């Protein structure tokens, strides 16, 4: 596995999901505009071109080869099934997950997938999760910051977290529309992508942790997108705020890594120093390599260079591939010392 680099944040839109987005009357939707179809995530947004890399396995594999990415855990991007009436989301979840599994099965040595849950009832979400766990190519679940219309720390989701922990399926938490959209309006989508998305993840995951979810479900594994938002940077401030909060249970006030040993983050920060901070706060065994491909913000080669600049040696190996292998149970061998050295050499160089 020379030069192993595993991308755990790589999006793909299967045919059923594309058809659903084409059929929507308002954003988020796919519209045929001058120059071809575009995915418009926000109202008034011209959107991004829907290239083959959004929808076709061959294009995804070609991108991976060009970027030096050896394996990917792919997942649909937002809006997932959150905007559908509950009953309709059950059938679409089944179709999308079947297409994801078929895609992964076509490249069994390079691709695995995370499935979607229906937006109906918690019991139907649990049933879908358990079905995903029976499929070797489906290694996780992608969710937004609400599941079945409830925030992640809602008591009614306890059964879902218990099922995920029991099945050994990681939950990948991704922002849906961004926090405080009014405050981040303007400047195109720059503030939404740079701030509102990470802020949304930060608050949702912080609530999940503070609700004691990881204490009740010690085998639960959760990946927070985009470096966990600003949670690693503000973990100390959050702890101190709880220490002086009269309503807080002081017996449970501990650091974020102590309260959430099953919390992981991806590396999509576009800054070696920010990536080092995540590794320092959470530990290098809790950080995973990701790109956000095929959205325009992705910079796969730059992400690999940032990783090589941020950490070296065994720490590099962990983030580049070992953590993903262990977390998702990928049937891959761990890299040798020689392969580790080769991987660092490959990623160092000029950005394309």
Q: Which pLDDT score, from 0 to 100, does residue 335 have?
A: 59
Beta bridge partners of residue 315, listed in sequence order = none
Domains of the chain: 6-12+61-347 (3.20.20.140)
For each of the chain's 352 residues, which pLDDT tens digit applies? 447 999 999 999 999 999 999 999 999 999 988 889 999 998 888 899 999 999 999 999 999 999 999 999 999 999 999 999 888 999 999 999 999 999 999 999 999 999 999 999 999 999 999 999 999 999 999 999 999 999 999 999 999 999 999 999 999 999 998 998 888 888 888 999 999 999 999 999 999 999 999 999 999 999 999 999 999 999 999 999 999 999 988 877 888 889 999 999 999 999 999 999 999 999 999 999 999 999 999 999 999 999 999 999 999 999 999 999 999 999 997 654 434 434 444 443 444 4
Long-range contacts of 295-303 (CB under 8 A, 24+ apart): 295/11, 295/48, 295/77, 296/48, 297/193, 299/270, 299/351, 300/7, 300/63, 300/67, 300/68, 300/69, 301/67, 301/68, 301/351, 301/352, 302/270, 302/351, 303/267, 303/268, 303/270
User: How buried is 148 (Cβ within 10 angstroms: 0-12 exposed, 13-18 middle, 19+ buried)?
Assistant: buried
Q: Read out DSSP for 284-300?
A: GGGEE----BTSTT--H
Q: Which pLDDT score, from 0 to 100, does residue 255 have?
A: 85
CA separation for the pair 172, 142 (Å, rounded)? 5
What is this structure's pTM?
0.93
CA separation for the pair 303, 68 (Å, rounded)? 11
Q: Which pLDDT score, from 0 to 100, does residue 238 have?
A: 95
Helices 300-310 and 337-347 pack at an angle, to 10 degrees, of: 120
- As given in the structure block, the two tokens for residue 72 are 């990917």
């Amino acid at each position: 596995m020379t030069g192993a680099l595993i991308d755990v944040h790589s999006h793909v839109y299967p045919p059923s999901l594309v058809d659903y987005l084409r059929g929507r009357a308002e954003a988020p939707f796919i519209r045929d505009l001058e120059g071809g179809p575009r995915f418009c995530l926000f109202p008034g947004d011209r959107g991004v071109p829907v290239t083959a890399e959004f929808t076709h396995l061959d294009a995804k594999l070609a991108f991976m080869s060009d970027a030096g990415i050896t394996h990917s855990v792919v997942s649909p991007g937002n809006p997932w099934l959150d905007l559908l009436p509950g009953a309709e989301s059950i059938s679409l979840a089944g179709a999308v997950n079947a297409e994801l599994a078929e895609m992964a099965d076509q490249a069994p040595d390079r691709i695995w997938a995370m499935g979607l849950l229906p937006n109906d009832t918690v019991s139907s979400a649990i049933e879908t999760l358990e079905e995903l766990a029976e499929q070797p190519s489906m290694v996780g679940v992608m969710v937004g910051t609400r599941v079945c219309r409830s925030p992640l720390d809602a008591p009614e989701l306890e059964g879902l977290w218990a099922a995920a922990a029991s099945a050994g399926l990681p939950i990948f938490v991704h922002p849906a529309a961004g926090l405080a959209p009014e405050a981040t309006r303007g400047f195109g989508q720059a503030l939404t992508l740079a701030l509102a998305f990470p802020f949304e993840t930060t608050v949702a995951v912080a609530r999940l942790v503070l609700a004691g979810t990881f204490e009740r479900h010690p085998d639960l594994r959760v990946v927070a997108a985009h470096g966990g938002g600003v949670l690693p940077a503000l973990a100390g401030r959050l702890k101190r705020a709880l220490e002086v909060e009269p309503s807080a249970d002081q017996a449970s006030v501990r650091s974020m890594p102590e309260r959430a040993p099953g919390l992981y983050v991806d590396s999509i920060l576009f800054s070696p120093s920010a990536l080092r901070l995540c590794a320092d706060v959470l530990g290098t065994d809790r950080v995973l390599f990701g790109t956000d491909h095929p959205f325009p913000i992705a910079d796969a080669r730059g992400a690999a260079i940032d990783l090589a600049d941020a950490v070296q040696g065994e720490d590099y190996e962990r983030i580049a591939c070992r953590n993903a292998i262990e977390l998702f149970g990928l049937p891959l061998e761990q890299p040798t010392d020689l392969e580790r050295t080769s991987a660092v050499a490959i990623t160092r160089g000029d950005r394309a």
